[in-house]
Amino acid sequence: MHNIQEWISNHLAEWRMGIISNSINEIDNAIVLLLIILVTVFIDYACRYIFLGMFKRLAKKTRNQWDDLIVERKIINKLMHLIPAILVYVMLPLAFPPEETPKILAILQMLCKIYIIAVSLRFINASLNVVNEIYNRKESLRNKPLKGFIQLLQVGVFFIGFILIISVLIGKSATTLFAGLGASAAILMLVFKDTILGFVAGIQLSANDMLRPGDWITMGKYGADGTVIEVTLNAVKVRNFDNTITTIPPYALVSDAFQNWRGMSESPGRRIKRSINIDMNSVCFCTPEMLAKFRKISLLTDYIDKTEKELDTYNKEHNIDASVRVNGRRQTNIGVFRAYLVNYLKSLPAVSKELTCMVRQLQPTETGIPIELYFFSSIKEWVPYEGIQSDVFDHVLAIIPEFGLSVFQNISGSDLRNLKK
């Protein structure tokens, strides 16, 4: 370095003939600084042309996505900004010798250090974003909430960078500042409380596979009922079915209860559970005429014949007097109706054959006898699912009078007007 300074001084001595001696040093420093800047700019462009060009050509030849993303996000460009800053920092003593201009040299080198730290932070932050993007593009890893961990690393990197910049500005060692921060850990925990809680909650959610982007969740306390679109360090964003966005703190999902519908999505079917109230006054034993009518229904033919045979055998074995209806065992219109509904549901292609399918009678109430249909639709998408459910109950409501039954319904205004007439 000393030899380079002597060489520069000797050449500058030939150029500065006739210049006032008081301004000779300033002119020398300015000329050397200008030369340093020109050299670093040239090296910067040369490095970008050589290294960046090589990397682009290499990225085109490979099938990997990560190298294409590095080129698209200009990660190499951000890294190349470090080269001129380091060169300027190293060559500054040539323009401002420490024995002549120590203050100016210290200030310029301090600015170079800050610039180097800032560029490094920008490079690391961009690299972490690329890692997150590559992670999200992989089908097997897309549902893992990595973004919270990436954000935590970014917060940690920027925090360390901020401490390093402060240490450069005040001229103190970074280790000294970190040691001082250890004493104020309670204050830091208070300031970063949400970040720490979010990080811990993110680990629990990920480790226990409680939540993934794309899951349908319901959390009434926060008014959330929709699809998880993003899991970050401080928030879980849910797009509700009315297209509003609900933001939930990650630690709330760990401390409070929420409903995740992923199990339904991954199962063979989605449950349909709905009942219709039958008027109790319409329930009766089946007459031979009614049974003859029911036999003509293709879904009931085998059931009627089989059941009648079983009942006749039972009544004969027990010497039942068939002249009185209450004696022995007989079929009822509501029982035949339930059997029809079971056979009807099983005949539908949209009803899952792997899961439970039944029609049951619930506890009678003052509004009639609830007949509940409990089955699973093999189609789980919302709109087709609702269409299947509606089609089933349209048919059920229309078929009820064929069995001599009637649906219970409270008296309406039109009923009262008809009664008056």
CB atoms within 10 A of CB 400: 19
Q: What are the structure tokens assigned to 188, written together?
A: 């830091």
| Percent of the chain scoring above 70 in pLDDT | 80
> Which helix (H) or strand (E) covers residue 113, if one does?
helix 102-137
Question: For the segment 241-296, what is each residue's pLDDT rounded down to a tens digit?
Answer: 888 999 998 888 888 888 888 888 778 889 999 999 999 999 999 988 999 999 99
pLDDT of 341: 96
What is the residue-wise DSSP string for 369-382? Answer: EEEEEEEEES--SH
Q: Which residues is 407 bridged to in the sheet?
A: 278
| Cα-Cα-Cα-Cα dihedral sign, residues 49, 54, 55, 58 | positive
pTM comes to 0.55
pLDDT of 15: 47
CA count, 13 A, side-chain hemisphere, 268: 10
N-terminal to C-terminal alpha carbon distance within the chain: 116
Buried/exposed 165-197: b ≥16 CB within 10 Å, e otherwise: bebbeeeeeeeebeeeeeeeeeeeeeeeeebbb
pLDDT of 241: 87
Alpha carbon distances (Å) from 249 to 194, 238, 240, 296? 8, 11, 16, 61
Residue ranges of the chain whose pLDDT lies below 70: 1-33, 55, 57, 59-61, 63-68, 71, 95, 98-100, 136, 138-148, 178-192, 207, 421
CB atoms within 10 A of CB 200: 13
Q: Which residues is 239 bridged to in the sheet?
A: 227, 245
pLDDT of 25: 56
Integer Cα distance of 331 and 307 in angstroms: 8
pLDDT of 184: 61
Integer Cα distance of 354 and 271 in angstroms: 12
Question: For the segment 32-82, what is each residue's pLDDT rounded down to a tens digit?
Answer: 667 777 777 777 777 777 777 776 767 666 766 666 677 677 777 777 777
Q: Which residues is 216 bridged to in the sheet?
A: 227
